Amino acid sequence: MSALERIDIGTWQRRFLDLDPDEVAGVHYFRHLGPRAFSRYFKPPSSFLGYGFRRLRRLHYDPDPRALRLFSFMLEEGERLFRARQSGMRVVGLMGDYGAVAPLLFAFPDVTAFYPDFCYWTPFLTESEVLLERAERRGLGADTCYVRAAVGAFTSQAYWPEPDLVAASTGASCDDLAAVAQVAFDAGTKMMFLEIPQRKDPAPWLTATRFISVAGQAPRQAGLLERLCEIYRDFFDRAGTALGTPVTEDRVAGSVARFRELRAVIAEIRTLVATAPLCPLPATEELLVQFASTHAYGDPAECRRILDGVLELVRERSERGVGFGREDDVRLYWVNPPPDPLLHVHVERTGARVVGTEYLIASALTPLSEGDPVKSIARAFLTGSLLGSSAARSETIVAGIRETKAEGVVISNLFGSSHCGAETPVIRRAVEEKAGVPVLSFDVPKPAPGEISSQVQNRLAAFLEAIRARRGRCATS
């Protein structure tokens, strides 16, 4: 086995300058518009520091250009939205649907999509509370999840252009996102609401808006799949009117097929990350891979090229026995996406690797079936992390722990998030009782310059040491 070394931002800068200029110049987003100077996104990290992403100075990175290109593509998304508007494309925001609506939206021509939801990363990347302070002035304070940063972005008009439309899922969705959507609507954002019914457990629930009662059994839902298909078909009509462009069945089928293939690539990367003896892709880069499943960072064609390169990289490393860390690194399963990427970097510095995750986007990672494309999307959406009960999500997490052979679970809670406070005790109990592995949960501290808080560092260090000691006890028992 051969270990690789992660690089810091200074090394990334030097390596970028050593790349073939022709190769870098040929990398563009929105290629259907033709090669334009502004659409080159594979840039040196100094460009992104200029955007205000100060946290990049403290992170460590995968040194391969294919992984650095992925990072650049993600960091360039805000700029890409403004360029889309400048080029005559329609810009549509999606909220609260966990990656369900994007494959449908991209059936419309000359459209790009983004998730205001993911703005909760921005205060950490910029090491600034400006967006959170703006949200507080609009009535969303510290008792709301960091996703409230999206309110600050909506009102500042500096992080994305004014959307042509925002399609926000409500009902069986995140309470905090619903609050953000309402504030944005009140501020004048052109908003379309999709009312999502709740999935009731236990399964089967694929057929669910009314209930069937059988003596001695829990009531079973009926009609949910059909109801979701109605909601999505209604979305096509309403979005077509709002955007001034109807959509055809062929375009819908083609868009869903592209996302089906995209999810298959992501699934293989995730499997190789979990099973390779040495970690073939760092945790932050793997998080960026996973979140590409939701909306392909607004450009599905270019995103696919990038992910094909990352898959090629991960395959090469797995076959050659090359990766990061050591074979005896602690295997962690991570619950909830950490808004601060430094958390992932820190645990990898201390001898751990992330082999499995539940980042609240289960529906975006679920394979899309063949056949009716709308029904395929609805079926996948029904696997959503927050669509049903906390007990059902816990069962999914326990299954993931067993599949990845994880030795411990880290739950990174977001202070003020409604689901974290309700779900964490349920998940902890299920994991300890059914998977038999220890759990560490903590609230992610608010964004600030410097390293992560000493309290979180100490708790992570003690947790990893306890797992290593547990290995020794298991070996001698």
The residue behind tokens 């600034």 is 128
CA dihedral sign, ordered 357, 358, 364, 369? positive
Half-sphere exposure of 407 (CA within 13 A, CB side): 18
Q: Which helix (H) or strand (E) covers residue 322, if one does? A: strand 322-324
What's the CA gap between 456 and 301, in Å, rounded?
A: 39
What's the CA gap between 93 and 103, in Å, rounded?
A: 13
| Structural contact between residues 145 and 418, judged by C-beta atoms closer than 8 angstroms | yes
What's the CA gap between 135 and 148, in Å, rounded?
A: 6
| Structural contact between residues 438 and 408, judged by C-beta atoms closer than 8 angstroms | yes
- The residue ranges of DSSP E strands in 336-418, in sequence order, are 352-358, 408-413
Greatest Cα pair distance, the chain, in angstroms, is 72
The residue behind tokens 């690194």 is 329
pTM of the model: 0.94
What's the CA gap between 117 and 146, in Å, rounded?
A: 9
Tens place of pLDDT per residue across the chain (477 aa): 678 999 999 999 999 999 988 888 889 999 999 888 889 999 999 999 999 999 999 999 999 999 999 999 999 999 999 999 999 999 999 999 888 999 999 999 999 999 999 999 999 999 999 999 999 999 999 888 999 999 999 988 899 999 999 999 988 778 888 888 998 899 889 999 998 877 766 554 444 455 555 666 655 566 788 888 999 999 999 999 999 999 999 999 999 999 999 999 999 999 999 999 999 999 999 999 999 999 999 999 999 999 999 999 999 999 999 999 999 999 999 999 999 999 999 999 999 999 999 999 999 999 999 999 999 999 999 888 888 888 889 999 999 999 999 999 999 998 877 777 788 999 999 999 999 999 999 999 989 999 999 999 999 999 999 999 998 766 555
Extents of the domains making up the chain:
2-476
- At 332 the three-state DSSP class reads strand
